[in-house]
Structure formats: C-alpha cells, structure tokens
Structure 1
Amino acid sequence: MRSTIASAAALTAALALTVTACSSSGSSAPDAGKRGTAATPAVASAKVDYNPQPYSNVKDGGTYTTPGTFDDQGNPFNANATLTATRVWFWYNPDVITYSPTGEVQYNPDYLSDVKVTVNGGNQRVVLTLNPKATYNDGTPIDWKAVKATWQANNGTNKDYNASNTEGYRNITSVTRGTDDKQAVIDFKGVDPWWSSLFTTFLHPKAATVAHFNDAYVKKAHPEWGAGPYTVGTFDTKSGNLTFVRNPKWWGKKGKLDKRIYVNLDSAAAINAFKNGQVDYASTGSAEDLKQISGVNGTEIRRGGSPFEYSLYVNAKSTTLKDIQVRKALLESIDRAQIAKIQFQGLDYSEPLPGSALLYSFQKGYSDNVSSLIKYAPDDAKKILDAAGWKAGSDGIRQKNGAKLTVGYTLLGDDPLDKATANAFAAMLKPVGIQVDIKKADEADFSKILSERDFDLFLSGNRSTDPFGARYLYQFYGTDSDSNLTGTGTPDLDKEIHAASQISDAGKQTAQANAIERKELAQYAFLPLFSGPSIYAVKKGLANVGATIFATPLPETIGWQK
C-alpha cells in the first residue's frame, strides 16, 4: 500500500507526519537543512533526520503522545482509508516487511524466518517461511492462510471488496501451503519486481471477508485480529482519544514505551498542545507554526525530504468539468510556482515542481511527465474556452447555454495557509473567466468527501509508503479504482496499465509507467503541485521519529533515547 491519501486541511500538519506503516500511498510510514538549493534545484531532497537509534539505546518506559485518532475507515487496504488509518494500523498489526530510508527491503524476523524468490520458466515464485511463534492476538496462527486471505481480498476478482490497489495482487496465480502451515508459496504470472509491497502487513483471515474488509474497521479497532509489540489499551469513541499499551501476547522484543497515546486534535490545536507540553510531537508545515514551536524549551526541529506529494484533483464527473477542454483550460490557468511560493513562504526552502504522481525527482527512473503536457498558459486557456463556446459575461465570468462557468473548491478547516491557497486558486482562475466558489467543510468530513466524490476541485496529498511508484499506476488512474479520485481513465489505458505491471524488468516497467502516465495526464484532471519539506518539532531525546523518507522504524524501537 504505497500511497495513502492525506487531507489538504493538514497542509500545515501533514506535510510531515509521524512515522507510519502500511500504504497510501499504501502500506507504510516516514536532515536537517533545506531540500534543494535556494536557486533552481534539480532534484528534491532525500535527506533524513529522525534520530535513528538501535533498540538497545532506547529507554524502557515512558509515554509518547501525538495528535491523531481512528479514521472513518481503519483498514489500510480499503480504498476509503487515509494516512490516519495507515499510521494507527502500524501500532497494533503485523509489520512484516519494511524499508530503509532509501527503499531497501527489510524483512522483520519476528514474522518471517526465511524468504526465497525464484524464477522458473519466466514465472516468479516467492516462498515465505513464517516465524513459528507468529500468532494473532486471538490465538489464530499467522500462517499461509493469512497470506492467502490478504491476496484474495485485494486481487480484484471479487468486486465487492472495496480494495485500494489490486495491481500486483492480480498477477498472483495462487497462494498455497508449503512444507507446513507456516510456509506460504506465492506463484506469479510473470515476474513482479515489486512483490514485497504486497505483503508489508497481513490481514487476519476473519478480517478478510467482504463484510469485515469493508465495514468492520469503520471507526473501530479489532485488537483481537492484530499482533505486535503493542495492542489497543483504550479507545474513547466520544473524544477520539486512543491509547496503545504493551501486548502481553507478543513473542518478540517488547515495546520500549509504557504507552503510545493519540489525542484527537485538529492541526491548530496540535500546535498549542505541543507548546503547552501536552504532546511530544507536532508537524510544522508553515512558517508561523515553525516560529511558534521553535522557542519551546526542550524542542528539536527535524527537517528532511518529503515522501508526500500534494495535487489538485479535478472531478471529471461533475457537470461543469465533464468537458475536457474546460479541464485543460482550468489547469493551464494555475501557476504552480506561485502555489509553491505560498506554501513555502518563510521556510527557507525550495524544490523543483513535481512532474509525476509515481516517483520523486530524487528517485531513479523519475520523469517529469507534467511539464510537457500542462503548462501555465492563461492566454492559451482563454483561447481554449473561446473555442469551446464559453463567452465572457459582463462580470468577466464565462457563460454557455445560460450557465456560468463556476466550479467549487472544497476547503477543509480554518487553517490560514489552506485559505491562502484556496484564494490563490480563485485569483488565478478569475481572469480566465472561471469563477471559484470556495466551499468550507469540516476536517472530519475528509473521508466522506473522498468516498462520495463530493467536490469539483480538491487539494489532497499522497504519502509514498515504499519506493515502487510504478506499482501504483492503476491505483491512481484505473477506471474502476476507488482511489482514482478524478473519475478519468479509459478501458484501453487500463489494458496498458495491466500489461505494464507484468514487465519483469524494473527499469523497463518504470519507463512504460511514465509513458502511460503522460497519456493519463492528458485527460487534464490531475495536477501535482508540491511536496514540501518534512519539518517536525519533537521533544529532545525522542528516538526513531522524524523525516525518514521511505523508512518505517518498527514500533518497538520508538521511544526515548538513553
């Protein structure tokens, strides 16, 4: 689960989030110094800053408190899940495969005793030998049936599963029992260079039924179906506050913390809570937040590269935006450099404009797929609208068949930076003759807005939970992918995406994914805008938390440095 959606309302809070695992998007988790140079950086920064410490150098005891709560959908495999679901899942469910900051695969020996990958006759076989001690909290063994259940829920054969990303799983032909129940044999059609991203965590077989997959985790936890060094201690459904405690049924290294606490706070309240010593961590995505937090005693500011990408989503199913010419004119009216300037004001930071939803500019295989198709050209946008029959009215707003060219922009919460960004979009589109109605919504409505596609224009982000961007091409752009927020795509491009997923060479698959993305971007419904720096304020001594890029420090290693 590589890419997990994050709320645009959290632009001051979600440009950098606490360590998470999945993923996405998606699923996963996350120096100092500027990302890029002050002039025109060629690539974004891949620097990390998270005080990495070995398990032996972390104190026993203490608490770690951050903003957060259960999401509407707590199953990270579900298409309606967001980053919140991913990071909460990380604390009480199996973390089987993780990644280093630069994306190297790491197998967790508490779950995997051995991994073998072979290719015979052009088809790949992965054999996972599971730790004999690995057991879910309800006593169910973590064995080949858990691997099979995870595959079956996500492979797309049963459309009743609201799965986030079926690509990759659909190339598996079978999951069978090996030498005993503790060995899973996974056979693929062809070779999948990104197979590890499919099994970063396992679903409990009971959680993998259609009903449970879709609904069991809605505003609920199921610690009995989980496993790991921590389990759910308390969850206050009224306040949203959540506490994890050490899991007495855990067979591995015990969690260093006595308690891991999430306090349900919005982004503005989180800053004040950090200043008052109520939380140990806060994201600082704006200069004002950074200024407020930097003066707090006992605080470290950790800065690094970002595994986030924020984009403007255009709902191609909405009445006004069904016309591709309107969408093209709209995107050509947006000055991405100006949006980035607003976001990064006062942060002493710059970055190249993002060119893809799949990879970051610091990654091998990255291609700027946006700039060749979507340019800031408001004069051209006016000509496009003229040709499409949209004529300027007396107030400058275009009309056609008696209807004004008006689009809604959904703004979550009251954050000043979010408001400034929304107003900038409106100011850019007005001279072209497009009126933007800014529609306010509560941050709590984020998941509902996405699942119901209740927007015209929406700014949201994805967090990359692993480095395998080509894997997620269908998740972004597939016609029947519930994670395709724009509603665009074509059956022919779906076929191309499926064919690309079977290319065994990683470099060639990435190159083909870039070519397909350029075709998808030509539908003018999606515009990558910025990534931003990862900037965290943490209490001094907090270990293995901060800007990690693709890394996911295991929960038992998170705590306070000796």
Structure 2
Amino acid sequence: MNGFNPLLTDSAYDSEAENLMYQPLLWVTRNFTINYDLSIARKVVVGPQHRSYTVYLSQKWKWSDGVPVTTADVAYTYHMLMKLGPLYAGWDAGGFPQEIRSFTVLGPYEFRVVTKRSVNPKWFELSGLLDFTPYPAHSWKKYSIKEMNDNMTNPDFFSVVDGPFRLESFHAGRYASMVANAAYSGPDKPHIHRLVFRFLNSNASVFFALKSGTVQLGNLPAPLYPARSQLINDRISIIGPGWDFNYLGFNYANPKLSFIRDVLVRQAMMHAINQDLMIRVLGFGHGVRAYGLIPGNPPVYLSPEAKELLKQGAYDPQLADKLLDEAGWHRGPDGIRQKDGKKMEFTLYMPPSMVRGPTLLTEMFAKVGILVRLREMPFNEVYAKMIDPHDLHWQAVYLAWSQSSFPTGGSIFKCGGIQNAYHYCNPKMDALADQIRMDNGLDALYKFQNYFTEQQPVIVLPYMKTFVVAVKNLHGVKRAITPSGNFYPQFLWISHDK
C-alpha cells in the first residue's frame, strides 16, 4: 500500500483499503448483480435507447461526521475526475469520460448521466457508473491536487468516511492500521474494532507471522503449503481463483523484442506452456487453466469457445515448434532459435516471492528453443519501469491484472490506453472492445475474448487458488473473503474460545 486516495492511486492493494473507507455507488455481488442495501444508490433507471441513466441515492447514508451523503459528493467526484484527466487510473476504462455527454444534478438525492450514444446498460452500470462513487466534498474540496498528493497517507485527511472502517495510522513498509467507523450508517456494522495490514516481504516472514499468531488472518504462500501442519492453531480455507488473470507481459516498444509482435510466436508460447504442470507444482493441484482475459469463477462471461478450450487444454509443444518454424525462427547449434542473426531471447522481471512460476516457464520455453533470463526485482521497481514512458528497455514481466465487474480489461490493451504499459496496439481488438460498449447481451464480449485468446497480447497463465489461514477463534472468513478475492472484514468476528 502506497496511498489511500481513490482518485489518485492505481494499485489493487491500495483499492482494497480504500474500499473499506468509501461505500460504492453500486455494490456489485459475487454474481455480478447489484445489492442496493449496500449501495449508496437505491435504484438506477435506464432511459429510452439506453442513453440516459438516472440514479437515485438512498437517504440513509451519512459521513462519519454526520453530514448526509448527497449528489454534491457525486458531483465533486465527477468534477475532480474531469480535472485529473488521464492522471486518473480508470480514465476511459469504463467509458468515463469518453462515453459521457452530460452529468446533471437533479436534486440532493438524484442525478442523471447521459451518454453520447446508446450503450450496453449492463456494461455501463458495472463499469461506467462505478466511477461515480461519492467522496466527501465538504472535507476535500478545499485541497488542491498537489495537497491531496501530499496527504496520500495522512489519517487526518481521511477522517471523514462513509464505509465501515477509517484509517488510523500508516507506517510505510511496516503496517497500516484501520479502526471501525463508529458512525457507519450501513448494514453489517464491523464486529472487530481494529484491523492492521502488516507488510511482510518474504514467504518465510509471512509463515512465521501466521505460526506465531502475530498475524491472525493471511494468505499462506503457496510454496509453504506442505508445511501447513505446523499451523496447529489455525484453520485453512482454499478460496478462489480470484477475479483476475495471471500473465507473461512484454514491452512491444523494445526493439530487441521485435519477435513478440508476431502472433505466431505468441501462439507458440501459449502452446509451449504446460498449465496442468504449473497447477500441480505451484498450486499443489489447486488451480484452473486459463487462456483468455475473462475469469471463469463464476463462468458467467465465458464464451462457448473459451469453455471448450479450457476443457481440452492448449499444451502442444509439437505445435509450438511448428509455429516457430513457420514464423522463420529455427534452432541454432545451441538449440536456441535464431532469425537474421538474432536469437529468440528475453529477460523476465519477477518479484522475489514468485520465482517458481518463471522458473517453470523458463524450462518449458527452453524445450521449444526460447531462451529466458530471470531477474528478481521488487514489484514497486518493476511497476515503476513499466509506467515510465521513457523507459523502453524492460522486456518482460510476470504479473496479474484485476478485472472489473464487466470484464473487458479496461484500457490495458487499447492503442494508447492509459493503462497500456505494454505499448500493444491492435485496431481490430480495439474495435471489438468498443462493440462491447454498444451491444446488449454477451455476443460482443464473446467475440472480443475469442479474438484475444487467438492473439495472446500477453501470454495468459493458469489461475491459482489462495490458501487463507485464520486463527481458530476468528469467524466469518468465507463471507469476508469472497471466491473472487474481495475482502470485507466487517463480516469477521472473534470468539473467546479457540
């Protein structure tokens, strides 16, 4: 965690904490329906031709200082996002602001968004309207963007919240402490008084923190799953896989990686990977195959073709060899493929805690003549390289991407997209993604995901389930941690007996 201002941060770790402090306009359930009991909005009315969206706010919600949550707060969010522009991480990921013609406050508890064209209501509600989460205008409007940046971890700045928790303290590199919002006006008020996120930098430190009871709830690092019998005071739940996708990503702007621009090479890489072996080794059998950007848990958005591919699998090293030969890359004397005097090789950056997956990939690619060099680097450093528009030297990364409730990948693969750190550009994919925004139903999403799987702009890797460890007197874990990986600690409670 590096900050707690949802207008300025772009990390899933930051969002996890922010979501505990600020109630969403629309609370999306694990089945991708809207729970209006937990939403700031009480209903959304879609107008003719799916171009107007009138949102009515519930009058029950209040900020922790007693001020009602109203459309003034929604308007503040809207105008701040327009002021931030592309500095906002979600810029155009859900159609904001490119699809929006107008935003109008109709009253203290009613506002309307009109789109420039007819859009898919389900996509816009689960993507576009989610950007309109209200933030405390009466508390924040006096700050400039610079002042907000300067106060990214200041608990005093975040003293006014409407979610179940508020920030108590933050110590960079050590921990963040949150306490229950005593004035929380929603249902399911927190049962625990304090929640501390500890930042641990190695698998061993996580394991010993769980074993000693220093940490009462946490993810057991997969490599240490065989040692789970040592956690005698804990229960283990196997959860997931999450609502995201794992991948091997490349820098298309790096001239040394020109071979990655050939779809035959990317398809060969997909067929060279034994996903079942990765699941056995990395997840001890607890994982599922994945070949596209649409998660399969639950499988509500998967195309028929995606379901069939998941059933059959794609591992075929002979086909990988054939595709690489067809692309003009042939094995040299050392077994590494060459073309025009250049070898098919790249350097893969990986976080120190994720060595085993890249090591397996290195071995699998070597069998088809691709040389991979591994280099450990902390996640923050890897990410800094990726988002630096002037750093075109990095080559490949081993990462994951969290999906939105209507999973299109946002702008991560869009030509010139704000989230596109890979410099990938495919006009046909952009056109298919744009069609999702306009067409009702799922046919457009099916076409987009099938084309994505064919093109493999990043090489998608299998999903691993998560081993969640909790002390025996901590209850409500399966409700607090959803199958898709969301964390709602207000549902946790502690008994006095172990």
Where on the TM-score scale, by shorter chain, does this alignment land: which range?
A: 0.7 to 0.9
In the alignment, what sits opposite 2:467?
A: 535
1:248-397 equivalences under 5 Å are 250-252=184-186, 255-268=190-203, 269-286=205-222, 288-307=223-242, 308-323=244-259, 324-325=261-262, 326-345=265-284, 347=285, 349=286, 351=288, 353-360=289-296, 362-367=298-303, 368-369=305-306, 371=309, 375-397=314-336
Distance 1:177 1:481, change over 3 A: same
Asked if the contact 1:74–1:81 (Cα under 8 Å) also holds between the matched residues in 2, the reply is no
Tell me what 1:182 maps to.
Answer: 109
Amino acid aligned to 2:372: V
| Structure 2 residue 358 is matched with structure 1 residue 422 | yes
8 Å CA contact 1:101–1:551 kept in 2: the answer is no
Which deviates further from its counterpart, 217-226 or 119-128?
A: 217-226
Q: Distance in 1 between matches of 2:22 and 2:71?
A: 17
**Contact 2:248/2:458 (CA < 8 Å) preserved in 1?**
yes
Once the two structures are TM-superposed, the CA of residue 212 in structure 1 deviates from its matched residue by: 5.9
Question: Which residue in 1 is equivalent to 2:130?
Answer: 199
What is the deviation of 1:213? 11
**Structure 1 residue 442 and structure 2 residue 378: aligned?**
yes
Which one has the bigger helix percentage? 2
Residue 421 of structure 1 deviates from its aligned partner by: 1.9
1-structure distance, mates of 2:170, 2:385: 25
Say if 2:30 is the partner of 1:101.
yes
Q: State the shift of 1:244 in Å.
A: 1.1
> What number of residue pairs does the alignment pair up?
473
In the other structure, the counterpart of 1:6 is none
* Matches of 2:420 and 2:349, distance apart in 1: 17
Alpha-carbon shift at residue 391 of structure 1 (Å):
4.3
Moved more, 311-320 or 149-158: 149-158
For the residues of structure 2 that align with 1:473 and 1:156, how far apart are their CA atoms? 24
Task: Report if aligned partners of 1:314, 1:458 keep a CA contact under 8 Å in 2.
Answer: yes
SS in 2 for 1:360: coil
Q: Which stretch shows the higher mean deviation, 150-159 or 261-270?
A: 150-159
Please list every run of at least 4 consecutive aligned residues from structure 1 whose deviation after the TM superposition is greater than 6 angstroms. 207-210
Deviation at 1:296, TM superposition (A): 2.5
Task: Identify unmatched segments of 5+ residues in structure 2.
Answer: none
User: Match for residue 548 of structure 1?
Assistant: 482
Tell me if structure 1 keeps the 8 A contact 2:241–2:297.
no
SS at match of 1:395: coil
User: In structure 1, how many angstroms separate the alpha carbons of the residues matched to 2:215 and 2:365?
Assistant: 40
Letter in 2 for 1:293: R
AA of the residue aligned to 2:475: A
Change (3 A) 1:122 1:419: closer
Which position in structure 2 is the counterpart of 1:16? none
SS of residue matched to 2:232: coil
Are the structure 2 counterparts of residues 331 and 257 from structure 1 closer, same or farther at C-alpha, using a change threshold of 3 Å? same
Q: Which amino acid aligns with 1:199?
A: L
CA RMSD, 1 decimal: 3.6
The 1:290/1:361 distance shift into structure 2, 3 A limit, reads closer
Helix, strand or coil at the partner of 1:438: strand
Q: Deviations over 1:293-319 (max 9, x none)?
A: 344233111123322432222332222
Structure number with greater CO (CA < 8 Å, separation at least 6) is 1
Q: What are the Cα deviations for residues 347-374 of structure 1, in whole angstroms up to 9, with x where unaligned?
A: 5x453x2243124164234124494999
Quote the residue 2:99 is aligned against. 171
Distance 2:114 2:13 in 1: 32
Contact 1:231-1:247 within 8 A present in 2 as well: yes
Deviation (angstroms), 1:136: 6.6
Cα distance in structure 1, aligned partners of 2:291 and 2:452? 13
CA distance, structure 2, for counterparts of residue 74 and residue 120 of structure 1: 38
Measured after TM superposition, the shift of residue 283 of structure 1 is 1.1
User: Offset of 1:127 from its aligned partner?
Assistant: 1.8
Distance (whole Å) between structure 2 residues aligned to residue 515 and residue 276 of structure 1: 50
Letter in 1 for 2:130: F
1:477 has 2:477 as partner:
no
From 427, 435, 445, the counterpart of 1:491: 427
Which of 481, 484, 494 is the matching residue for 1:560? 494
TM-score (norm 2): 0.81
Aligned pair in 2 of structure 1 residues 106, 219: CA closer, same or farther (>3 Å)? same
CA deviation string 1:192-241 (max 9, x = no partner) = 2140443374345548999469946766664146433322111123x431
Q: Summarize the alignment of residues 46-85 of structure 1 with structure 2, pairs less than 5 Å apart.
A: 70-71=1-2, 74-76=4-6, 81-85=10-14
Cα distance in 2 between the residues matched to 1:523 and 1:182: 45
| Partners of 1:462 and 1:75 in 2: CA distance | 20
CA–CA separation in structure 2 for the residues paired with 1:376 and 1:364 = 25
Distance 1:92 1:212 in 2: 22
Aligned-partner Cα distance in 1 for 2:435–2:162:
36
Aligned CA distance change for structure 1 residues 447 and 140 (closer, same or farther; 3 Å):
farther
Question: CA shift at 1:151, angstroms?
Answer: 4.3
Matched, 1:410 2:340: no
Q: 1:464–1:411: structure 2 CA closer, same or farther, 3 Å change rule?
A: same
CA distance in structure 2 between the partners assigned to 1:220 and 1:306 by the alignment? 34
Partner of 1:56: none
User: After superposition, what is the alpha-carbon deviation per residue over 1:90-133, rounded to whole angstroms, capped at 9, x for unaligned?
Assistant: 22223443233333321245834x32423324434232224265
TM-score in terms of structure 1 length: 0.73
